[in-house]
Chains A and B, each alone.
Chain A
Amino acid sequence: GQSLEQPSEVTAVEGAIVQINCTYQTSGFYGLSWYQQHDGGAPTFLSYNALDGLEETGRFSSFLSRSDSYGYLLLQELQMKDSASYFCAVSPHQAGTALIFGKGTTLSVSS
């Protein structure tokens, strides 16, 4: 079957750096993306990696290693508003088909 593994919870303090890992076991791989979801809200897109390496978008970065079937989301200069759930998602087939999500990581940022 297809599976994506993420830690269920992560805690950190304001100003810190946190890394949320995602390992995947899928029949194929056509990219890894990350979504943020605040409590009671809809998921919103954060980033996408198709190739190995680091993609940076402001305070958030995402990394991919296809040989290790592994990626992570790096959040820097944490703020209280970053408290949310974060999901990784993989396309197991060629673009245009299903999208598999991980179970999500709840990030709690304290002051």
Chain B
Amino acid sequence: EAQVTQNPRYLITVTGKKLTVTCSQNMNHEYMSWYRQDPGLGLRQIYYSMNVEVTDKGDVPEGYKVSRKEKRNFPLILESPSPNQTSLYFCASSSGGGAGYEQYFGPGTRLTVT
């Protein structure tokens, strides 16, 4: 089954404790991205990757890091989480970048930073 998986699905952590949210896709997609979703703000792109070893900042990259060492994986790293990073996070993949390519979203990771 074609899918994007994220782990963990739910996470409660404390300020400053480094964490990684994993994202993996099995569709051989070149393009992957991370979004955060907050009430009333819609989906905001954090980082995106055109291919292995190619990443770029989206609208809200501050406080986040990503890496793309393999085509299928695109982890999101919060080196020192803060309460304002409490949010619902989605990973997505597609065969290309841009609005014309269907983005396949993972199930989401709900993060709470206390």
Residues of chain A at the chain B interface (Cβ within 8 Å): 2, 8, 30-33, 35, 41-45, 48, 50, 87, 89-91, 94-104
| A107 vs chain B, min Cβ distance (A) | 15
B106 within 8 A of A: yes
Give the nearest-CB partner of B30 in chain A: A96
Report the 10 A-B pairs with minimum CB-CB distance, sorted nearest first. A95-B98, A31-B99, A103-B42, A96-B97, A42-B105, A91-B98, A45-B102, A101-B43, A33-B99, A91-B99
| A58 vs chain B, min Cβ distance (A) | 16
**Total number of B residues with any Cβ neighbor in A under 8 Å:** 28
Q: Hey, which chain B residues are within 8 Å of A30, CB to CB?
A: 98-100
B33 within 8 A of A: yes
Cross-chain contact of A100 among B59, B90, B103 (Cβ < 8 A): B59
Query: Do A31 and B42 touch (CB < 8 A)?
Result: no
Residues of chain B at the chain A interface (Cβ within 8 Å): 31, 33, 35, 40-45, 48, 50, 56, 58-59, 90, 96-108
Main secondary structure of the interface of A (DSSP, over half): loop
Q: Hey, which chain B residues are within 8 Å of A99, CB to CB?
A: 33, 45, 48, 97-99, 103
Q: Hey, which chain B residues are within 8 Å of A95, CB to CB?
A: 96-98, 100-101
Cross-chain contact of B107 among A8, A33, A42, A102 (Cβ < 8 A): A42
| B40 vs chain A, min Cβ distance (A) | 6
Give the nearest-CB partner of A29 in chain B: B99
**24 pairs, CB–CB < 8 Å, chain A vs chain B:** A30-B99, A32-B99, A42-B107, A43-B90, A43-B105, A89-B99, A91-B97, A95-B98, A96-B31, A96-B97, A97-B56, A98-B48, A98-B58, A99-B33, A99-B45, A99-B97, A99-B103, A100-B59, A101-B35, A101-B43, A101-B44, A101-B45, A103-B40, A103-B42
| A61 vs chain B, min Cβ distance (A) | 17
